[in-house]
Amino acid sequence: MDWEVVIGLEIHTQLSTKSKLFSGAAVGFGAEPNTQTTLVDLGMPGALPVFNKEALRMAVMFGHAINAEIGIHSVFARKNYFYPDLPKGYQTSQMDHPIVGKGHLDVLLDDGTTSRIGITRAHLEEDAGKSLHEDFQGMTGIDLNRASTPLLEIVSEPDIRSAKEAVAYVKMIHSIVTYLGICDGNMAEGSMRCDVNISLRPKGQKEFGTRTEIKNVNSFRFIEKAIYTEIERQADILEDGGKITQETRLYDAEKNETRSMRSKEDANDYRYFPCPDLLPIELTQEYVDDIKASLPELPSHKAKRFQSEYNLSEYDAHVLSSSREMADFFEAANSATKDPKLTANWVMGELSKLLNQAQLEINQSPVSASAFGKLLARIQDNTINGKTAKDVLQAMWNGEGSADAIIDAKGLKQVTDTGAIESMIQAILDANATQVEQYRAAEPDKQKKMIGFFVGQVMKASQGKANPGMVNPILAKLLKG
Amino acid sequence: MFEQSISTLATKLRNKDISSVELTRLFLDRISKLDPQLNSFITISDELALQQAKAADTLLASNKGTSLTGIPIAHKDLFCTQGVLTTCGSKMLNNFVPPYESTVTSRIQQAGAVMLGKTNMDEFAMGSSNENSFFGAVKNPWNLNKVPGGSSGGSAAAVAAGLAVAATGTDTGGSIRQPASFCGITGLKPTYGRVSRFGMIAYASSLDQGGPMAKSAEDCAHLMQAMAGFDEKDSTSSETPKEDYLANLNAPLTGLKIGLPKEYFGEGLDPKVADTIMSAVKEFEKLGATVKEISLPNLQLSIPAYYVIAPSEASSNLSRFDGVRFGHRCDDPKDLLDMYTRSRAEGFGTEVQKRIMVGTYALSEGYYDAYYLKAQKIRRLIKEDFVKALSEVDVIMGPVAPTTAFDIGSKTDDPVAMYLEDIYTLSVNLAGIPAMSVPAGFADDMPVGLQIMGNYFAEAKLLNIAHQFQQNTDWHLQTPTLAKGA
Amino acid sequence: MSINKQDVQKIAHLARLALTEEDAAQYQQSLSSVLALVEQMQSVNTDGIEPLGNPLEMTQRLREDVVTEGNRRDEFLANAPQTEAGLFLVPQVID
């Protein structure tokens, strides 16, 4: 049968506040166990929560970024369940009145089409601690450093129809939250974690099939792989006439399979009710509007601007605006060249290649945007050609100095003296008389191909320093005879 | 000495007629002699008390401190006290020593008071008779066969028997006022949000409120001076500036408009209690007050609304007692579920487990609207009744409880009957208004408390009214025979 | 509204309370009588009435985003039944 896959995502985004959602404990990854906890995070008797102002601001920023209704009146609710990493026996979350209501995102897919994904809501809640399964006399260790770290849970509509679309959506969310500076986006450290809801239905059927939820998938690659394996698993069951059990599953990256989570088997009744220790949050329109006005330029806007302002293709504009750091780098480098196409090609080409090889992010690049821009300016003013520029970039990457210093030190300056180039070319033509004869006898469209031989000889003789822009017309003139 | 007021003792301390160490020893001595009969204390912090007394004497010697400096008081064992066992009357917290101090006890300590110890209470403040304590029932100093009321029964009995000058209590559905009434002392439940709940072990967060329990309104005012006021650690704490509770104690009551809700004087009220209350009301008329009948039509609904809201909140509040970070853990748990279920079943008493289950049920899927949401709507009706009544009169008066203290064990078999006894106190917590219990006389040799209910943040007014009554009556000065024995 | 023993066991499980058969029978009775008491509410029409959560109907105050507390792990672990290497220990958790 032909199956249609239906995917909805819940993305837990850790907000990059300094302190926790309800306490003055520091937020951070990798601290010694239980050293970043207060009475409140530990759920000690009599401890009470007080809400972090910055977490609220960040949530409202996100709401604006997805064109959502902002919850002018929002309420914290308690989600009651027992788990050792949940100190109070309830998670403070939001249920009926989330801070961010309905919104949407337009996601650009690889084939160049755009897909609108609905966002049901985004709500504030506290993170849980961590269970450490190393063997402590056959027991589990509980570290509550992460407890009460602010999370924004972003819930999509079941609008996604493929693994690729899911990944594109998550990447878009990742790009938005990092643009806004409300999340560090570090998926390896769990700053962004996805729960994927998947179901299949026969193509053309309206009703949704039974779904499973895959918990805590924490990389773009794993999201894609987990979805593929789960689609396969569900399709196998359905093809055999079986039924999907609604359950929570865990993705095992090593085995590339999903398995049922025993701990979540228990039918849960979370008994949500408004948290009596926290009061309703009432926002003024002025507060909401001020945040909107102070929003940084978002990736989709930036991509549009790059197209209109710099005349870049949609693809280039999209790639360059996918992260704020990349976009900033591009714009800074471009201010030296004023040639967006050249700058874009070099940022997305040579620089990205070096960054990938070294597994660095663009903000970790050893070559700064302005140094990079100066290098490109030397291509523009014919000091060096593109081929030489690659070598100079490598030298700059290795810390050998600025573009100009390297060009000087290695004597890489292009030959731009017309007389010198002419005599060099004449010498080459004299040494290759046969090829010159053949050239002159050939049809014009054949000549175009044959000229490459002479260019190559010139570049070789000049050790790459002859300016290709000058070589070509002189060569053409002399070949004419 | 043990019968004297805070003002008198403060003057004596300041004049060096007595030192705080001497006064503290006197009370510790009384506790060791009398408390074996009453069981009003769970923990006696004698060493700490003497240390604090010494520090108080040093302060007093340099003419520093407040009217509470050097005064020995007791705290309900529901306020977390740093380094001092805090049990909440439960086996669950039998070994819990908080590494932090509640705002209330911290402020009272800052004011220089000496803490004698922690008083007995119904487990997790759930009860009206103090029979639900893991540490045993508390006896009423007026008659050892009778209950002291609850849940702040230990504080009430200790103050009535002269084992502490004053004490703190908490009131979720009457837990300050009813034991104050049963033991013949004065107690104030402040407006919700007036006194910080930080460090107070929660029973029902939207109803809980700490307050003073003492021999007189004036003593309560002294405690309120220290304990009331905004606390940034409690999101439900009110930023309304606190009043000077002592400044207007002597304001005359001429023109005071008193409302008597007819629902408070209907069926179920012991006629002798009714007579006592009416005599007290007459006393107010003599002081220049006028009286009129009013109505709080939804009073009866306060019982079901309370017994949904309080257990619901409690079921969630008490989930943190899971045997992981503090509190009781069962022996040899065979797995995680076994650890949870046995630790909690062993750690909590029957009444607590029952209320947790009622709350769990009321919040569960399919029942939320019919129970919790419905109760919250009724809560608004009850609040509106009070708002309307208090727009017509200055204060509302009535009994605290339908009867005087009952016999120990007489109602344990029928808890619902005991719930019904809370009829006059629950609505005040649901509405969040302040109310007091003031000794108004005796019925069958047991004390009767008059309840005075006021508008939001009218604590100073209530204390003024109660104080004027106490300037003209001596019910609050009566002492049980047992207290005189030591 | 009366509830049966299975209901009681289900509620007890949600609340993580271990009940013996005998306990369950007792709680079945006492819970039923509380629920009967609570049932009175249903006689009142509350259509159009807003629920009241906080009696003062205040709104949430906001805390500045600053770290105000440091590491007090040793004090906090002191009340725990079982700890090791700075962790609270519990019977094995199986995901």
User: CB A89 to CB B102 under 8 A?
Assistant: no
Whether residues A55 and A199 share a domain: the answer is yes
Structure token digits, residue B249: 């104690």
Residues B435-464 have a mean pLDDT of: 98
Whether residues A182 and A96 share a domain: the answer is yes
Whether residues A401 and A422 share a domain: the answer is no
Query: For chain A, what is the mean pLDDT?
Result: 92
pLDDT for res A439: 87
**pTM as predicted:** 0.91
Look-up of token digits 């450490």: A132
Residues C19-46 have a mean pLDDT of: 94
Strand arrangement of the beta sheet that strand A114-126 belongs to: A103-108, A114-126, A150-156, A3-14, A192-202, A212-217, A248-252, A257-260
Residues C27-50 have a mean pLDDT of: 94
pLDDT for res A473: 84
- How far, CA to CA in Å, does B170 sit from each of A167, A354, B467? 54, 67, 21
Whether residues A171 and A201 share a domain: the answer is yes
A267 has a pLDDT exceeding 70: no
pLDDT for res A264: 59
- In this predicted model, what pLDDT tens digit does every residue of A167-184 receive, in sequence order? 999 999 999 999 999 999
Per-residue pLDDT band at B416 (split at 50, 70, 90): confident
- In this complex, which of B98, B357, B433 lies closest to C27 when CB atoms are compared? B357
Per-residue pLDDT band at C93 (split at 50, 70, 90): confident
Pairwise pLDDT comparison (B75 vs A430), residue with the higher score: B75
- In this complex, which of B96, B98, B319 lies closest to A82 when CB atoms are compared? B319
Tell me the count of A-B CB pairs closer than 8 A: 98
C64 located within any domain: no
Q: Which residue of C has its CA nearest to B234?
A: C61
Per-residue pLDDT band at A64 (split at 50, 70, 90): very high
Displacement of CA A381 from its chain's centroid (Å): 34
Q: Is B431 on the interface with C (CB under 8 A)?
A: yes
User: CB A56 to CB C89 under 8 A?
Assistant: no
Give the end of a domain, one of A289, A309, A342: A289
A239 has a pLDDT exceeding 90: yes
Identify whether B175 is a catalytic site residue: yes
3-state secondary structure A225-286: HHHHHHHHHHHHHHHCCCCCCCCEEEEECCCCEEEECHHHCCCCCCCCEECCCCCCEECCHH
Give the end of a domain, one of A385, A410, A435: A410
| Number of domains observed in the structure of chain A | 3
Q: Is A134 on the interface with C (CB under 8 A)?
A: no
Q: How far is B108 from chain C (nearest CA, A)?
A: 23
Whether residues A427 and A396 share a domain: the answer is no
For residue B365, the chain A residues in CB contact (below 8 A) are: 269, 271
C57 located within any domain: no
User: CB B205 to CB A277 under 8 A?
Assistant: yes
Identify whether B316 is a catalytic site residue: no
In angstroms, the CA B320 to CA B326 distance is 9
- Catalytic-labelled residue, pool B151, B237, B312, B437: B151
Query: For chain B, what is the mean pLDDT?
Result: 97
- In this complex, which of A48, A89, A278 lies closest to B197 when CB atoms are compared? A48
- In this predicted model, what pLDDT tens digit does every residue of B264-316 receive, in sequence order? 999 899 999 999 999 999 999 999 999 999 999 999 999 999 999 999 999 99
- Catalytic-labelled residue, pool B19, B45, B67, B76: B76
Q: What percent of chain B has pLDDT over 90?
A: 96
A235 has a pLDDT exceeding 60: yes
For residue A36, the chain C residues in CB contact (below 8 A) are: 71
3-state secondary structure B81-128: ECCECCCCCCHHHCCCCCCCCCHHHHHHHHCCCEEEEEECCCHHHCCC
User: CB B325 to CB A44 under 8 A?
Assistant: yes
51-70 in chain C: CB under 8 A from chain B:
51-56, 58, 60-61, 63
B321 has a pLDDT exceeding 60: yes
User: CB C52 to CB B307 under 8 A?
Assistant: no
Per-residue pLDDT band at A39 (split at 50, 70, 90): very high
CATH number assigned to the domain comprising residue C13: 1.10.20
For residue B363, the chain A residues in CB contact (below 8 A) are: 80, 271-273
For residue C63, the chain A residues in CB contact (below 8 A) are: 19, 24, 50-53
Whether residues A50 and A113 share a domain: the answer is yes
Q: How far is B456 from chain A (nearest CA, A)?
A: 18
Cβ contact B78:B121 at 8 Å: yes
Give the end of a domain, one of A390, A410, A430: A410
Domain B6-257+434-484: give its CATH architecture: Alpha-Beta Complex (3.90)
Residues C36-58 have a mean pLDDT of: 95
pLDDT for res A414: 75
Look-up of token digits 């014919």: A382
pLDDT for res A266: 62
Q: Show me where the domains of chain B are located.
A: 6-257+434-484
Mean pLDDT check: name the lowest of A465-479, B153-167, B383-397, C67-81: A465-479
User: CB B236 to CB C54 under 8 A?
Assistant: yes
316-335 in chain A: CB under 8 A from chain B:
none
Per-residue pLDDT band at A134 (split at 50, 70, 90): confident
Residues B177-188 have a mean pLDDT of: 98
For residue C94, the chain A residues in CB contact (below 8 A) are: 262-263
Q: Is C78 on the interface with A (CB under 8 A)?
A: no
- In this predicted model, what pLDDT tens digit does every residue of A378-437 receive, in sequence order? 999 888 888 889 999 999 999 999 999 999 888 888 777 778 888 888 888 888 888 888
Tell me the count of A-C CB pairs closer than 8 A: 124
Domain hosting C12: range is: 5-43
Residues A208-221 have a mean pLDDT of: 92
User: CB B235 to CB A279 under 8 A?
Assistant: yes
Q: Is A49 on the interface with B (CB under 8 A)?
A: yes
Closest among A418, A409, A346 to A377, alpha carbons compared? A346
Per-residue pLDDT band at C8 (split at 50, 70, 90): very high
pLDDT for res C71: 95
Closest among A413, A475, A417, A469 to A448, alpha carbons compared? A475
For residue A37, the chain B residues in CB contact (below 8 A) are: none
Per-residue pLDDT band at C65 (split at 50, 70, 90): very high
Identify whether B118 is a catalytic site residue: no
Peptide bond into B196 cis (omega under 30): no
pLDDT for res A262: 67
Q: What percent of chain A has pLDDT over 70?
A: 99
Mean pLDDT check: name the lowest of A150-154, A313-317, A417-421, A474-478: A417-421
User: CB B325 to CB C8 under 8 A?
Assistant: no
| Number of domains observed in the structure of chain C | 1
Which DSSP state fits A29? S
In angstroms, the CA A320 to CA A312 distance is 10
Q: Is A397 on the interface with B (CB under 8 A)?
A: no
State the best of A96, A264, A273, A282 to mutate against chain B, taking most chain B CBs within 10 Å: A273
User: CB C60 to CB A17 under 8 A?
Assistant: no
Per-residue pLDDT band at A156 (split at 50, 70, 90): very high
- In this predicted model, what pLDDT tens digit does every residue of A311-351 receive, in sequence order? 999 889 989 998 889 999 999 999 999 999 999 999 999 99
Q: Is C80 on the interface with B (CB under 8 A)?
A: yes
For residue C79, the chain B residues in CB contact (below 8 A) are: 95-99, 325-327
pLDDT for res A263: 60
- In this predicted model, what pLDDT tens digit does every residue of A73-109 receive, in sequence order? 999 999 999 999 999 999 999 999 999 999 999 998 8
- In this predicted model, what pLDDT tens digit does every residue of B56-73 receive, in sequence order? 999 999 999 999 999 999
Q: Cα-flanking dihedrals φ and ψ of residue A203, to 5°? A: -55, 135
Q: How far is A362 from chain C (nearest CA, A)?
A: 29
Q: Is C76 on the interface with A (CB under 8 A)?
A: yes
Q: How far is A101 from chain C (nearest CA, A)?
A: 19
Domain hosting A163: range is: 3-289
State the best of C9, C75, C87, C94 to mutate against chain A, taking most chain A CBs within 10 Å: C87
For residue B312, the chain A residues in CB contact (below 8 A) are: 273
Closest among B4, B102, B46, B81 to B54, alpha carbons compared? B46
Q: How many CB atoms lie within 10 A of CB B236?
A: 25
Q: How far is C10 from chain A (nearest CA, A)?
A: 11
For residue A61, the chain C residues in CB contact (below 8 A) are: none
For residue B432, the chain C residues in CB contact (below 8 A) are: 54-56
- In this complex, which of B197, B198, B363 lies closest to A273 when CB atoms are compared? B363
